[in-house]
Amino acid sequence: GEDVEQSLFLSVREGDSSVINCTYTDSSSTYLYWYKQEPGAGLQLLTYIFSNMDMKQDQRLTVLLNKKDKHLSLRIADTQTGDSAIYFCADYYGGATNKLIFGTGTLLAVQP
């Protein structure tokens, strides 16, 4: 079945850039998403990218997609302490159903 993997933990200093990586196995992916989850909260949609795009930029966020290697990354510029959270990538798993396959989540810790 479809599998989405992420590294578990990333620590950065405030003001640095953060890069969170994700790999997936579904060769027919159409949309890939990034969600942010703060402690005790629901999932906040950050951004998404369509599979015919290589890059998408949205303010401090840059998403890069390497479809050949099935690799997705989220870069956060000028990381702030408020960016500390768990970040999930998610792959839309095709067919008649709108099923998202979530990665394992990356805990981003921002040190002041």
Residue ranges that bind another protein, judged by CB under 8 A: 30-31, 33, 35, 40-45, 48, 50, 88, 92, 94-100, 102-105
To another protein, the closest distance from the beta carbon of 10 in angstroms equals 15
DSSP class of residue 78 equals S
- 60: tokens are 């401090």
To another protein, the closest distance from the beta carbon of 106 in angstroms equals 11
Using the minimum distance from each CB to another protein, give the nearer residue, 64 or 102: 102
Using the minimum distance from each CB to another protein, give the nearer residue, 74 or 103: 103
Q: Mark 88-109 as b/e (b = at least 16 C-beta within 10 Å).
A: bbbbbbeeeeeeebebebbbbe
To another protein, the closest distance from the beta carbon of 15 in angstroms equals 28
